[in-house]
Structure 1
Amino acid sequence: MALSTYTTPSGYRLPSIHSAPPFFTPQPNAATQATFTKHWTRLILFYARHRRLFYLRVEDAETTGGDWDEILRNSRINRRIHPPHLSFLLGELVSQHLAVYEPPKQTRTVLLYWRLPEEWAEVLHDWAASTGQMNTILTFYEIAEPPVPSPLSGIPPTLLRAAINILIKQSRAQIIAISDGEGVRFLAGNTSR
């Protein structure tokens, strides 16, 4: 079978390397493995962004029909990534600061940074400004689950908190104690990034 691109049912266009059987297994040659790891890293992050997926688990390698099935398997060539190889790739994502283990102190699930926390901070502040939410106290839930879908819809609390902490350091947000926990107020603040 010649290497070719393929468009998945979700509309994601897989790169041609995804149709190479060796892509799904660890490679003994370090240079080949480094190249494949680079391609896997890009594929995972781009696909996560396409599907708005935040978490990848080692178990996803064995979950047929799951959110990640389109890239972790290639039924056209009868290949799939195995859990130990996916675990290695998760470790690589973490070592490159493109993911963090979530929850901490385990190595089977990562929170993917298809946008870095600094990028999420800008998205968050821009959203607050464009929706007239400046100087308004909002709960984390109101931000992550707004009545009108936004670029922040479904953002995990850990990632949202990281973005807010960046804005706090830039004097563009502050945490406010409210009756049912914490809220955040966005400020015009310092725009020099």
Structure 2
Amino acid sequence: MARLTPTGYLLPSIHSVPPFFTEQPNPTTQATLTEQWTRLILSYARHRRLFFIRIEDAETTGGDWDEVLRNEQINRRVMPAHLSSLLATLVAKNLAVYEPPKQTRSVLLFWRSPEEWGETLHEWATSTGQLNTILTFYEIEDPPVPSPLSGIPTALLRKAIASLSKTGRAQIIGAADGEGVRLFAGTGK
């Protein structure tokens, strides 16, 4: 039975099935459950605008991920080793990257691909009349008027800008007070 969380997210019915929370010995069954976990993690992250998931989220209560990683009604939770395996799958499928790099306990989720974020950035700059001006990363990540980019992590913003740079629609600018970007009109792709 599907269940609505306190934040208004509709959990899939599989979330009420105890085996969903443990790694399964049958590889086919595990592959199916991993695919369902992948979809659940990404859609929940999009719903809540969460950019990171960490192994610690399985180890502590009261966090942003409790609604997904636990089901108190059936007394189940995802164990850290299982979450680690799920994170590795997300990274292998290019749906996340380890962030910071060179560790495997925290990932930056791509519930929108870096290319989609690049398009969002370009549309925002176009609609707010900021093409051909230099914007600091801070102005994009924490604008005075909330935007679709509010709160975007710098690492993801860099990837979005890189995707626009490939099509000649963005250029990173070094400045005394940090980095910025200039966005150009263009058709993209």
> Which TM-score band applies after superposition, normalised by the shorter structure?
over 0.9
Partner of residue 34 from structure 1, selected from 21, 31, 35:
31
Distance 2:174 2:69 in 1: 43
- List per-residue Cα deviations over 1:44-95 (Å, max 9, x = no partner): 0000000000000011001211000000000011100000000000000000
Distance 1:29 1:176 in 2: 51
Distance 1:183 1:59 in 2: 33
* Count of aligned residue pairs for this structure pair: 189
Partner of residue 64 from structure 1, selected from 61, 67, 80:
61
Gap runs ≥5 in structure 1: none
Q: Residue in 2 aligned with 1:94?
A: 91
CA contact (8 A) 2:100 2:106 kept: yes
SS in 2 for 1:185: strand
Query: Alpha carbon RMSD of aligned pairs, Å?
Result: 0.7
Question: Aligned letter for 1:183?
Answer: G
Kindly state the Cα deviation for residue 20 of structure 1 after the two structures are TM-superposed.
0.2
Q: Which stretch has the larger CA shift, 173-182 or 29-38?
A: 173-182
Kindly state the Cα deviation for residue 176 of structure 1 after the two structures are TM-superposed.
1.8
Runs of 4+ aligned residues of structure 1 deviating over 4 Å after TM superposition are none
Q: Residue in 2 aligned with 1:166?
A: 163
1:146 equivalent to 2:143? Answer yes
Scaled by the length of structure 1, the TM-score of the pair is 0.96
SS in 1 for 2:108: strand
Scaled by the length of structure 2, the TM-score of the pair is 0.98
Partner of residue 124 from structure 2, selected from 124, 127, 140:
127
Kindly state the Cα deviation for residue 175 of structure 1 after the two structures are TM-superposed.
1.5
Q: Residue in 1 aligned with 2:11?
A: 14
CA contact (8 A) 2:122 2:183 kept: yes
CA contact (8 A) 2:169 2:188 kept: no
Question: Aligned letter for 2:147?
Answer: S
Question: Aligned letter for 1:64?
Answer: T
Distance 2:105 2:175 in 1: 35
CA contact (8 A) 2:134 2:180 kept: yes
Distance 1:179 1:101 in 2: 29
SS in 2 for 1:134: coil
Question: Aligned letter for 2:61?
Answer: T
Q: Which stretch has the larger CA shift, 55-64 or 174-183?
A: 174-183
Question: Aligned letter for 1:105?
Answer: K
Kindly state the Cα deviation for residue 177 of structure 1 after the two structures are TM-superposed.
2.4
SS in 2 for 1:76: helix
Distance 2:175 2:188 in 1: 29
